[in-house]
Structure 1
């Protein structure tokens, strides 16, 4: 990720046919890299099987829909640097809520504000384009994620103690967080 302009570009995709050629394999590579490094992005037990990751990416991509599911990606010099999913719950009682899933950045670009930029962009999309009023997420305890999201205005609203078992001697809390108002 080198070049003369290393400013991240944030792009959203709202339909499966909108993804440019090569983006889906790049999402798989990123997710595999992040998961194999112990990242809390949906596959808890490294090493992950790239075939399983590809199937999960395919489910995300085929589910893209302007009203309910968006993919937000960050690129630097045209190369994928990170991504996340933004979803609206379809149930009428909670359709004013959205949730973030699979927030991740490539290891080589960490510390450059790309993850924070993704979350900020998702907030803008949720508020300005999807008409959402609140966002929620669940984060793995013990990874410093509550601090990361806290710096971006999210607040912890609850925990499920020991909800996640990463190993026989490694239980983690699942931390529930909310961002409101948008």
Structure 2
């Protein structure tokens, strides 16, 4: 899916807004990324498409303007990547949100799709959701610190050996912050 077309970034805030055909495209993307070893929520390839479908269904049915957005990137009408932006509405923590499942199709890697998704999520968080900061947890050992660091995020903590991908392959979970938005 290499393209020179400009990506289009769209947010969805309710289940009803998600167009027909998008959920299966999200499943295909998530399966592709996970099966390639991507750090997007399913650590042990190959993934079970039924599990991925159930996870996408939970994301879509949980969309809510106050607490959960789905942000997608399309190129030439095809899904190129996506992420989830969530916040807890409990007053003590309602000023910050989290990014989840940031991913891009393998064929568009290196074309700025992931960076565009994260930048678009930042704008949505600030302008549409009134958030003051964003957080995320990234898997260590795959260069994600550098990717997010280049977008203004900073590491604020690390949980050594939190993620066990295989016997003898424990990875740190890296906690990152983007503030102010």
TM (norm. structure 2) is 0.98
Match of 1:103 in 2: 102
Q: Cα distance, 1:90 vs. partner?
A: 2.3
For residues 65 and 72 of structure 2, what CA distance do their matches in structure 1 show? 15
For residues 42 and 90 of structure 1, what CA distance do their matches in structure 2 show? 23
1:120-165 CA-to-partner distances (Å, cap 9, x unmatched) read: 0000000001000000000000010000000000000000000000
For residues 22 and 2 of structure 1, what CA distance do their matches in structure 2 show? 21
After TM superposition, where is structure 1 displaced by more than 3 Å over at least 4 residues in a row?
A: none
Secondary structure at 1:74 match in 2: strand
What is the Cα-based RMSD across aligned positions, in Å?
Answer: 0.9
Question: How is 1:9-20 mapped onto 2 (pairs within 5 angstroms)?
Answer: 9-20=8-19
TM (norm. structure 1) is 0.98
For residues 166 and 64 of structure 1, what CA distance do their matches in structure 2 show? 30
Aligned residues: 181
Q: Cα distance, 1:13 vs. partner?
A: 0.3
Does the 8 A contact of 1:2 with 1:77 survive in 2? no
Match of 1:66 in 2: 65
1:12-46 CA-to-partner distances (Å, cap 9, x unmatched) read: 00000111110000000000000000000000000
Q: Cα distance, 1:170 vs. partner?
A: 0.3
Gaps of 5+ in 2: none
Question: How is 1:1-182 mapped onto 2 (pairs within 5 angstroms)?
Answer: 1=1, 6-182=5-181
Q: 1:2 to 1:163 in 2, by over 3 A?
A: closer
For residues 35 and 61 of structure 2, what CA distance do their matches in structure 1 show? 25
For residues 56 and 102 of structure 2, what CA distance do their matches in structure 1 show? 13
1:84-108 CA-to-partner distances (Å, cap 9, x unmatched) read: 0000112221100000000000000
Q: Cα distance, 1:70 vs. partner?
A: 0.1
Does the 8 A contact of 2:164 with 2:170 survive in 1? yes
Gaps of 5+ in 1: none
Q: Cα distance, 1:6 vs. partner?
A: 1.3
